[in-house]
Amino acid sequence: MPKRYWARLRADLDVPLRRGAWYEVRRLRPPEAVVDVLGDRVSVPRSVLEISTAAPSRWSVVPRPKNPARFPGVGEYAVCPNCRERVPLEERLALLECRRCHEVFDVDWNEKYFTEP
């Protein structure tokens, strides 16, 4: 049985992937990966992706964008590992229920997603 892979952005690029959201990988070859975005196949350079063999199981915490003028009103938010819904984070909860898919997952507060070293 072939391995399944998931990928998400680890760079701020103009591609149709949501920051923090995991996408199923349909094809994985150098120098690109093809991911499933709402039924469409989108090619993304592998060098800008975080790739995992484990299905996502926790909310990703996405920090406030570095360019607030480009994203007015956007602060820190979480992304559902199941349906990619975005939820503003107003308090530091251990668990969140998704308002779209109603699944409950841990929030990955210790993860350092989209931060520079």
DSSP character for 48? G
Q: Which residues of 76-115 are buried (b: 16+ CB within 10 A; e: fewer)?
A: ebbbbbbebbbbebeeeeeebebeeeeeebebbeeeebbe
pLDDT band, residue 117 (cuts 50/70/90): very low
Q: Among 19-28, 34-43, 69-78, 96-105, where is mean pLDDT lowest?
A: 69-78
- Whole-prediction pTM: 0.81
Q: Average pLDDT for residues 8-15, to the nearest whole number?
A: 85
The CA-based dihedral angle spanning residues 7, 10, 14, 20, taken in that order and rounded to the nearest 10 degrees = 70
- Give residue for tokens 């063999």: 53
pLDDT at 26 over 70: yes
